[in-house]
Amino acid sequence: MRHSQFAKLTWFSCITLSLILSGCKDDNNTPDIPATSADPLVGIWQAPAYGQVLDMQADSHQLYQLTSVSCQRIEFDMAHDKLKSSMQVSNDNNSIVNTFTGVKNPGIVMHKQNSLPDLCVNDLTANKGEANYQFDAQQDFEIFWQTFSQYYAFFDIEDVDWDEVFQLANNQISPQTTEAELVDILTQMVEPLQDFHVDVNNEELDIQFSVHRKDNLYDIALQDFMFTQQVELPFEPEQEEAFEIYFENAEQQYREAIGSHFVIDSDIETDDNETLFWATFENNIGYLNVDTMDLNEIGDSDNSVEQNKALLAETLDEVMEYFADVDGVIIDVRYNLGGDDFASTMIVSRFIDKFLHVYSKQARLGDSRTPLQQVIIGSQGSRQFLGPVAVMTSASTSSAAETFAMSMRQRANTTLVGEATAGGFSDGLDKVLPHGTEFSLSNEFYLTPDNEEFEGVGVPVDIEQAFFTLEQREQGIDLGLEKAEAWIMQQQ
């Protein structure tokens, strides 16, 4: 999931846009909503699995971030009318599905409440910049720990005892603990989770922390550089510069190896931002490289979600026209770090001709889970490709690119080639501490239609082949592409 900035809070993500809480009201105490309100969206709505409370009034709204020990107002500049248009109320008016202007798909189910939680009315936690705020390291540490304790879904993957983490970290906190020292403690707490959807960021302190379970392409190149140059970390400045050049050259070797498969003198097409490109290989095989699922990168960060969806749809129309007469297609997401699930599903929709249940989602809810939400895709566009498709993945294929692989796995006449994906599916659930440090965590489960879960291990492949190895780069070959081509030719 990729990262981008917004007012007073950061979109974390690698990979998926994550849901962010917002705020438009300033008054602390919100009255109960009259039962006779004509607008069914007006009311107090709560999503217990996400720690979110929405106070929705006729012409304003306020979002709250909630744990069992704290409630905070979260500021986020979201147009009220756009927020309302992304909320669908149930027939009995007791729940809504909120996509938060299309960012969250499927949307979060929120249930109507009679009033705000007591913590939000009588014991609201002050944020930095608000009246009565005073930095309290112990308070912020406990909010951080409690947030993970209530909402994080995957302590079992790395066998992390969160209660033990509390004791070890709590011993380091004192009234003299500074913001910088606290953030350092927080990063130490979550590092053992090895979850790339867990971030800790503080812009004022210039701290950005994340960690991942599997080696990505940067890690592979770093190890190869250290081996070939016989150097060790930490690098001297000249070694750092030499490695950056080495990594750029390694990426160029990877691109050239792919390019060697293109039909000589054939057209190579790309979208305006060069996030997708497509070409023809020998043996009449189409090739589509999808570099990101982030709609802000595919389109324009100044656009609405719907505007960027329209741009992607136009690009996919061109791709389908280009592939009209090919015998098979290779879709390469080995370098794709994720973005938006709805970008993934839009691509899948061009390779099916009927409704297809591609995966389901649910969130942790205490010791249980929320009800499953099925994601079912129908075909889109005037033309679809229904022939054999080979999807290429690597250990760097992350987040929304993994949901793409999981979805294509449900399609007939499809095979996955390369390496199991990175193993991080949940959207990042974004939070902020009173002193301003922002963090995210994984609270959602993604399941295949057969109820398989791949969090931590990644989507498996049908044909294994290591990617971005030193030997392949030095020889200018791509064994994964060769295996994908061979499989497609066998289907003809």
Question: Per-residue pLDDT averaged across 464-474, rounded?
Answer: 96
Cβ neighbour number for residue 385 with a 10 Å cutoff: 21
Q: Which residues contact 114 (CB under 8 A, 6 or more apart)?
A: 32, 33, 44
Q: Are 279 and 260 in contact (CB under 8 A)?
A: no
Residue 57 lies in a domain: yes
Domain that holds residue 405: 250-423+458-490
Reported as a pLDDT band with limits 50, 70 and 90, residue 265 is: confident
What is the DSSP pairing of strand 356-365 with strand 373-377? antiparallel
Q: Which residues contact 186 (CB under 8 A, 6 or more apart)?
A: 141, 144, 169, 200, 437, 439
Residue 115 lies in a domain: yes
Question: Considering only CA atoms, which of 392, 410, 414 is closest in space to residue 401?
Answer: 392
Report how many domains make up the chain.
2
Question: Per-residue pLDDT averaged across 64-75, rounded?
Answer: 96
Q: Which residues contact 389 (CB under 8 A, 6 or more apart)?
A: 328, 329, 330, 331, 351, 408, 411, 413, 414, 415
More confident call, 302 vs 347: 347
Q: Which residues contact 129 (CB under 8 A, 6 or more apart)?
A: none
What CA–CA distance (Å, rounded) separates 263 from 25?
A: 59
3-class DSSP assignment, residue 445: strand
Residue 82 lies in a domain: yes
Secondary structure E strands in 39-98: 43-47, 52-56, 61-66, 71-74, 87-89, 95-98
Chain-centre distance for alpha carbon 465: 25
Residue 204 lies in a domain: no
pLDDT over threshold 50, residue 9:
no
What CA–CA distance (Å, rounded) separates 214 from 217?
A: 10
Q: Are 74 and 55 in contact (CB under 8 A)?
A: no
CA neighbours closer than 13 Å in the CB half-sphere of residue 181: 14
Reported as a pLDDT band with limits 50, 70 and 90, residue 79 is: confident
Per-residue pLDDT of 309-338, as tens digits, reads: 999 999 999 999 999 999 999 999 999 999
Question: Per-residue pLDDT averaged across 33-58, rounded?
Answer: 85
Give residue 411's region: left, alpha or beta (phi > 0; psi -120 to 50).
beta
Structure confidence at residue 18 (pLDDT): 32
Q: Which residues contact 390 (CB under 8 A, 6 or more apart)?
A: 328, 329, 330, 331, 414, 415, 416, 417, 484, 485, 487, 488
Residue 214 lies in a domain: no
pLDDT over threshold 70, residue 29:
no
Domain boundary among 78, 94, 122: 122
Chain-centre distance for alpha carbon 98: 18
Residue 481 lies in a domain: yes
Structure confidence at residue 296 (pLDDT): 92
Residue 221 lies in a domain: no
Structure confidence at residue 25 (pLDDT): 35
More confident call, 32 vs 429: 429
Secondary structure E strands in 368-452: 368-369, 373-377, 389-393, 414-418, 428-432, 438-442, 444-447
Domain boundary among 94, 122, 150: 122
pLDDT over threshold 50, residue 14:
no
Reported as a pLDDT band with limits 50, 70 and 90, residue 37 is: low
Per-residue pLDDT of 436-462, as tens digits, reads: 999 999 999 999 999 999 999 999 999
pLDDT over threshold 50, residue 28:
no
Sheet (strand 285-290) strand order? 269-270, 276-281, 285-290, 328-332, 389-393, 414-418, 463-464
Residue % of the chain over a pLDDT of 90: 85
Whether residue 234 is preceded by a cis peptide bond, meaning omega within 30 degrees of 0, is yes
Question: Per-residue pLDDT averaged across 140-161, rounded?
Answer: 98
> Same structural domain for residues 118 and 254?
no
Domain boundary among 72, 96, 122: 122
Structure confidence at residue 78 (pLDDT): 81
Structure confidence at residue 492 (pLDDT): 83
Beta bridge partners of 47: 52
Per-residue pLDDT of 338-369, as tens digits, reads: 999 999 999 999 999 999 999 999 999 999 99
DSSP string, 216-249: -HHHHHHHHHHHHHT--SSPPHHHHHHHHHHHHH
Per-residue pLDDT of 88-137, as tens digits, reads: 999 999 999 988 867 787 889 999 999 999 999 999 999 999 999 999 99
Which CATH number belongs to the domain containing residue 284 in this structure?
A: 3.90.226.10
Q: Are 313 and 381 in contact (CB under 8 A)?
A: yes
Whether residue 192 is preceded by a cis peptide bond, meaning omega within 30 degrees of 0, is no
Per-residue pLDDT of 198-228, as tens digits, reads: 999 999 999 999 999 999 999 999 999 999 9
What CA–CA distance (Å, rounded) separates 452 from 129?
A: 46
DSSP letter assigned to residue 383 = -
pLDDT over threshold 70, residue 6:
no
The angle formed by the CA atoms of residues 130, 166 and 431, to the nearest 5 degrees, is 35
